């Protein structure tokens, strides 16, 4: 029998699915944005640019968390910096 440790975080926020186009390939990401409000398209685009520079966000829609897929957790708006700001 295999015993694995599983941790679950209880936090208020929104899980979204983002479809994006990067270097001619279509990608599907699951992202978690903390906070009560739904993230704007500009917030999503800014976070995606830190992972996939030059990517074009096609669609953003709310989704239930799928534990079988990796989830990118975004830091709160006041605490994070974009990748370009961090490098400088």
> For residue range 24-50, what is the model confidence (pLDDT) as tens digits?
999 999 999 998 889 999 999 999 999
List Cα–Cα distances, 34 to 4, 38, 50, 77, in angstroms: 26, 9, 17, 9
The C-alpha atoms of residue 54 and residue 45 are separated, in whole angstroms, by 10
pLDDT > 70: what percent of the chain? 80
Is 75 a domain residue?
yes
Is 78 a domain residue?
yes
| Predicted pLDDT at 62 | 94
Is 8 a domain residue?
no
For residues 12 and 35, the answer to whether their CB atoms sit within 8 Å is yes
Is 36 a domain residue?
yes
- Regarding pTM above 0.85, the answer is no
Domain that holds residue 73: 13-87
For residues 16 and 57, the answer to whether their CB atoms sit within 8 Å is no
Q: What is the dihedral of CA 32, 16, 64, 77, to 10 degrees?
A: 30
Count of domains for the chain: 1
Is 5 a domain residue?
no
Is 41 a domain residue?
yes
């Amino acid at each position: 029998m295999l015993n694995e440790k599983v941790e679950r975080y209880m936090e208020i926020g929104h899980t979204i699915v983002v479809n994006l186009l990067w270097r001619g390939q279509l990608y599907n990401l699951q992202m978690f944005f903390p906070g009560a409000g739904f993230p704007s398209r500009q917030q999503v685009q800014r976070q995606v640019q830190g992972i996939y520079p030059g990517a074009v966000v096609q669609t953003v829609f709310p989704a239930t968390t799928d534990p079988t897929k990796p989830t990118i957790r975004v830091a709160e708006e006041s605490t994070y910096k974009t990748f370009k700001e961090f490098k400088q």
